[in-house]
Amino acid sequence: MSTPVNLLDLDLDGLTTWFESLGEKPFRARQVMRWVHREGCAEFDRMTDVAKALRARLAGQACVRAPAVMRDSVSVDGTRKWLLDVGGGNAVESVFIPEATRGTLCISTQAGCALDCAFCSTGKQGFNRNLATGEILGQLWLANRLLGAARDPQGDGGGEDERDNGRVISNVVLMGMGEPLANFDSVLVALRVMLDDYAYGLSRRRVTVSTSGIVPAMDRLREECPVALAVSLHAPDDALRDRLVPINRKYPLQALMAACARYLERAPRDFITFEYVMLDGVNDSDAHARQLLSLVRGLPCKFNLIPFNPFPDSPFRRSPQQRIQRFAGILVDAGIVTTVRRTRGEDVDAACGQLAGQVQDRTRRTVPIHASREAC
Ligand code: SAH
Ligand code: SF4
C-alpha cells in the first residue's frame, strides 16, 4: 500500500490537484480543508458533509498527522510551550503567548539552524533538517486543538479585523527555531494555508516572518506571499554584524537595507520591524544607537529590542535594563517607534533564542505525554 498523503502538507491548490487525481470534484478540497483546519478534525468519519464512500477512500489514502507532543509546559505568566517530536532524534518547539488583546503562536521552521548566529542557542545546535510543510503547519493545527480554539466550520466571521478579533490564536510569528527563508518552499505552502479563508483565514498583517536577512529569499517572499516582515539586525555596521550574524558576510547591510526597501513596496504593513538583541558591552552603546539611526534613515521601520536570553555556555550577557532604556530613548527621540520585548516564559525556557537549546538531552529525558497521530 502506498504511503498516505498527509493533508497538512497541502495548500488549497495542492489539495485540489490531489482530489482531481482521485477523480473527485475540486470543491471537495475546500470542504476537507475546512474540516481539517477550521474544525481541527483528523478523523475522516466525522466529516459529515463528505460522501461516505469518499470518507472511506480518504481513510485509506490520506492522514492528518502533526508532530507528536513530547512535553507541554505552562509558564507562571501563562506562556505555553510544546516540545514536539519530528523524528530521528530531532525535536522542535512552539510557544503560545497569551496577551490581553491578542494570542501569538511562535512556530519553528527547521530542526536546528545552519546560520550560526553567535548569540543563538538554536544556531549552536547546528543544522539538522528542514521541516516539511505538515510539520510547520502541524504546530498551528495542534496548538489550535490543544488550546480548544478550533472553530465551528460554519462560522464565517465578518471583515478582516472582525475575523481576527476574539481568536485564541490571532497572530502567528515564524520566530521559533530555524531560518524560515532557508526553508522557503515548505514555508510558502504553510503561509498560504495560514492565510486561506477555508483554513485559518489570518490576515497578512498578522503573520510575521522573521529573517536574519537572506536577501534573494526576501525578494521571493515579496513576490510570492508578502506577509509582515521582521529582520534580525543586531548590529549597525558590517564588521560587528559579520561577527554576530555570519550571513551578513554574504548579504551585507547595504544589500539588506535595499531589500527591505523593495519589500515595503508590497508589504501588508508600511514598516519593517527590526529585531535587535541587546548584548552587554557588544552592540548596546549610545554610539551604536546613533549609527543605527543613520543606517535606517529614510526607511519606515520600528525597532524591537530583545534583552538577550542566556543559555548554557553562551559568551554574552544581557544589557542592563537602564542601558536598554537609554538605547531605546535615542531611537524614540529620533521618531522611531521602539519597543522592548518583555521576556515571556523564561521559567520554561520559552524565551527568544532559548528554544530547544538542550533538545537532545531533553529528548532522552522526556516521555511522550500526548500523541496526535489519530488518523494514520
Ligand atoms: N532565524 C530567524 C527567526 C528565528 S530567531 C531570525 O534569526 O530572525 C527569532 C529571533 O530571536 C531573532 O531575532 C533572533 O536573533 C532572536 N534570538 C536568537 N537568540 C536569542 C537570544 N539568545 N536572546 C534573545 N534573542 C535571540
Ligand atoms: Fe538561525 Fe535565527 Fe538563530 Fe540566527 S538567530 S542561528 S538565523 S535561528
Q: Report which residue type is found at 257.
A: M
Q: What is the pLDDT of residue 2?
A: 79
Longest dimension (CA), the chain: 69
Q: What is the pLDDT of residue 70?
A: 94
Q: Whose CA is nearest to atom 21 of ligand 1?
A: 353
Do residues 308 and 336 touch, judged by C-beta distance below 8 A?
A: no
The reply to whether 93 belongs to the active site is yes
**Nine-digit cell string for 290:** 546613533
Q: Measure the CA–CA gap between 287 and 127, rounded to whole angstroms.
A: 34
Q: Measure the CA–CA gap between 182 and 112, rounded to whole angstroms.
A: 12
CA 28 from centroid of its chain's CA atoms: 29
**Domains defined for the chain, CATH in brackets:** 5-63 (1.10.150.530), 68-375 (3.20.20.70)
Q: What is the pLDDT of residue 312?
A: 87
pTM for the model: 0.91
Whether 119 lines ligand 1, by a CB cut-off of 6 Å, is: yes
Q: What is the pLDDT of residue 353?
A: 55
Whether 175 lines ligand 1, by a CB cut-off of 6 Å, is: yes
Would you tell me how many other CB atoms lie within 10 Å of the CB of residue 54? 18
Shortest CA distance to 205 belongs to which of 144, 271, 156, 301?
271
Shortest CA distance to 304 belongs to which of 285, 332, 281, 280?
332
From the CA of 232, how far away is ligand 1's center (Å)?
Answer: 7
Q: What is the pLDDT of residue 157?
A: 37
Do residues 68 and 373 touch, judged by C-beta distance below 8 A?
A: yes
What does the buried/exposed string (b/e) look like for 18-52 if buried means 16 or more CB atoms within 10 Å of the residue's CB?
bbeeeebeeebbbbbbbbbbbbbbbebeebeebee
Q: What is the pLDDT of residue 302?
A: 98
Q: Measure the CA–CA gap between 308 and 117, rounded to whole angstroms.
A: 13
Our mutation pick for probing the ligand 1 site, out of 107, 183, 241, 277, counting the most ligand atoms within 8 A of Cβ, is 277
Whether 309 lines ligand 1, by a CB cut-off of 6 Å, is: yes
**Nine-digit cell string for 359:** 533538545
Name the 3-class secondary structure at 267.
coil
Q: What is the pLDDT of residue 162?
A: 37
Q: What is the pLDDT of residue 149?
A: 73
pLDDT in 10s for each residue of the chain, 376 residues = 679 999 999 999 999 999 999 999 999 999 999 999 999 999 999 999 999 999 999 999 999 999 999 999 999 999 999 999 999 999 999 999 999 999 999 999 999 999 999 999 999 989 999 999 999 999 999 999 999 877 543 333 333 343 344 689 999 999 999 999 999 999 999 999 999 999 999 999 999 999 999 999 999 999 999 999 999 999 999 999 999 999 999 999 999 999 999 999 999 999 999 999 999 999 999 999 999 999 999 999 999 999 999 988 899 999 999 999 999 999 999 999 999 988 777 777 666 655 554 444 333 332 222 222 222 2
Q: What is the pLDDT of residue 344?
A: 73
Q: Please report which helix (H) or strand (E) contains residue 29, including its range.
A: helix 27-33
Q: Please report which helix (H) or strand (E) contains residue 290, including its range.
A: helix 286-295
The reply to whether 99 belongs to the active site is no
Between the alpha carbon of residue 179 and those of residues 9, 10, 26, 174, 276, the distances in Å are 19, 21, 34, 9, 16
Catalytic, out of 41, 63, 225, 352: 352
Whether 170 lines ligand 1, by a CB cut-off of 6 Å, is: no
- For 60, counting Cβ atoms within 10 Å of its Cβ (0-12 exposed, 13-18 middle, 19+ buried), the class is exposed
